[in-house]
Amino acid sequence: MWLRNQTYLADFILEGLFDDSPAHVFLFGLTMVVFLVAVSGNTLTILLICVDHGLHTPMYFLLSQLSLMDLMHVSTTIPKMATNYLSGKKSISFVGCATQHFLYLSLGGAECLLLALMSYDRYVAICHPLRYTVLMSRKVGLMMAVTSWLGASLNSLIHTVILMHFPFCGTRKIHHFYCEYPAVVKLVCGDVTLYETTVYICSIVLLLLPIILVSTSYGFILHSVIEMHLTGSKRNAFATCSSHLIVVSLWFGACIFSYMRPRSQRTPLQDKVGSVFYSIITPTLNPLIYTLRNKDVAKALRRVMRREVT
């Protein structure tokens, strides 16, 4: 019994992203620069929204939650990958792998839900501006954030417990740089067809339902914009929604590529590329997109910097 428990809880081996070739050393350095940009950008966004009273609205509260999710997302995967690469070790403990799987799945699911709910915020702001403070009160914004966090965490907890209870065999080598579901499930010894089908259905629900909500919200927004007579009003409406649409497209595009392809069409390289995009690139671009394209955030940044200088 003791020996069986020891085998069950044995470490996994993470293949990683890079080897010791000069090209890969350069790519590792580039990845770390991108990681630092992601951490700095999302941290700055969170602090800016907390400090500047002009950004204390439901919209920017939800944006701060999005930045927190992105910050936690990159911090869940990249530090472990960097530690293994620099130390020459490739192992991750059973508990560490389970924790990493739970965190990345929770944060990914929460971001899907939050982006969908943020589209409702944009719908209310453009289609019902006079009722915005009623329909999107602070209480509603808080409920949206709590729903995103709790709903995704519960879904992730169930999948992580089920997955990590399967028996693993072979060398327990994960052909990835972190414990992502598609790479871990390949190590399971038994028949997981039913479980994979369940996960596939859950992925469809968690991705397609938010996409439907986003599409519906922006359908109403587009109809309202077309009916606007003033060119300035149309320009402001498009400016308000463009940042969110870009982020939604990047995030859901990468998630669909990673999770809605049949297992027979997956390769380790494709899984790594998709994961790099939504776990590193997207969290880096999100604060840049919202900061550069959002006048309120840019003005708040200038106010805070001016205040610090004086």
Report whether pLDDT(296) > 80. no
Residue with tokens 């080897």: 19
d(CA 280, CA 278): 6
d(CA 199, CA 193): 10
Report whether pLDDT(76) > 60. yes
Report whether pLDDT(71) > 80. yes
Region of poorest pLDDT, from 69-83, 126-140, 143-157, 194-208: 194-208
- pLDDT of 20 reads 82
One-letter identity of residue 233: S
Q: Measured in whole angstroms, how far is the alpha carbon of residue 116 from the centre of its chain?
A: 13
The band of 5, judged by pLDDT with boundaries at 50, 70 and 90, is very low
Residue with tokens 């089920």: 162
Q: What distances in angstroms separate CA 75 from CA 5, 35, 38, 47, 196, one per listed residue?
A: 30, 9, 10, 17, 27
Report whether pLDDT(145) > 50. yes
d(CA 187, CA 261): 19
- pLDDT of 224 reads 83
Which is higher by pLDDT, 22 or 232? Answer: 22
Region of poorest pLDDT, from 2-16, 63-77, 248-262: 2-16
Rg (CA), the chain: 21
- pLDDT of 204 reads 80
Mean pLDDT within 97-111: 93
One-letter identity of residue 128: H
Maximal C-alpha separation, the chain: 76
d(CA 242, CA 244): 6
- pLDDT of 263 reads 65
Report whether pLDDT(8) > 60. no
Q: What distances in angstroms separate CA 299 from CA 52, 208, 237, one per listed residue?
A: 10, 35, 18
Strand 173-174 to 12-14 pairing: parallel
- pLDDT of 82 reads 92
Report whether pLDDT(106) > 90. yes
- pLDDT of 1 reads 40
- pLDDT of 61 reads 93
Report whether pLDDT(214) > 80. yes
d(CA 187, CA 308): 53
- pLDDT of 37 reads 93
Report whether pLDDT(225) > 50. yes
Mean pLDDT within 172-194: 86
d(CA 82, CA 283): 17
pTM: 0.88
User: In degrees, to the nearest 5, what angle opens at C-alpha 236 toward C-alphas 233 and 237?
Assistant: 85
Helix (H, G, I), strand (E, B) or coil at 173: strand
> How does the average pLDDT of the chain come out, rounded?
84
